[in-house]
């Protein structure tokens, strides 16, 4: 019954299916149904122009769907997913290397503290008094290694 209705609509069935799939994309976003919907609309347009059989239009839809999804993944991935190594996420200490700070607590026994914005960082280096200027030379875990500026 559904198959007969689908076949009787001809090319319009593909266009309606494409609009429905794009509507599903609006309700459940994920950039997947969009490409299937576009493939269905293109199938409907080609079916209207070429008057394809239902088998040929089904095969055309399958091929266009795979192509559209692959193309869509390629287009969206290059813009939305930056290189994992290039992002500074969870690497705040690396951005402090080379900067000069004032000691908040003196370095005694090789350990002290500096204030960076609203947080306090543990530092290691040669003994110095509170208020001395130090330069961050590297980071070891969550500890900053400091030296003379």
4-41 pLDDT, tens digit per residue, is 776 678 888 899 999 999 999 888 877 789 999 999 99
Q: What is the mean pLDDT of the chain?
A: 85
Q: How confident is the model at residue 82 (pLDDT cuts 50, 70, 90)?
A: low
Span(s) in the chain for CATH 2.40.50.140: 92-147
Degrees, nearest 5: CA angle 16-19-22 = 150
Task: Tell me if 22 sits within 8 A of 33, measured CB to CB.
Answer: yes
Q: Is 92-147 CATH 2.40.50.140?
A: yes
- Average pLDDT (102-117) is 91
Q: How confident is the model at residue 89 (pLDDT cuts 50, 70, 90)?
A: low
SS3 string, 86-111, reads: CCCCCCHHHHHCCCEEEEEEEEECCE
Q: Which has the higher per-residue pLDDT, 86 or 49?
A: 49
């Amino acid at each position: 019954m559904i198959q007969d209705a689908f076949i009787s609509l001809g090319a319009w069935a593909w266009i309606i299916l494409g609009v429905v799939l794009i509507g599903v994309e609006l309700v459940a976003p994920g950039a997947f149904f969009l490409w299937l919907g576009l493939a269905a609309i293109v199938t409907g347009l080609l079916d209207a122009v070429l008057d394809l059989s239902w088998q040929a239009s089904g095969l055309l839809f399958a091929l266009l769907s795979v192509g559209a999804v692959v193309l869509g993944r390629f287009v969206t991935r290059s813009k939305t997913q930056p290189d994992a190594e290039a992002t500074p996420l969870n690497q705040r200490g690396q951005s402090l290397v080379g900067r000069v700070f004032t000691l908040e607590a003196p370095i005694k026994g090789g350990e002290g503290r500096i204030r960076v914005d609203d947080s306090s960082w543990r530092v290691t280096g040669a003994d110095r008094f509170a208020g001395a200027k130090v330069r961050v030379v590297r980071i070891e875990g969550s500890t900053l290694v400091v030296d003379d500026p």
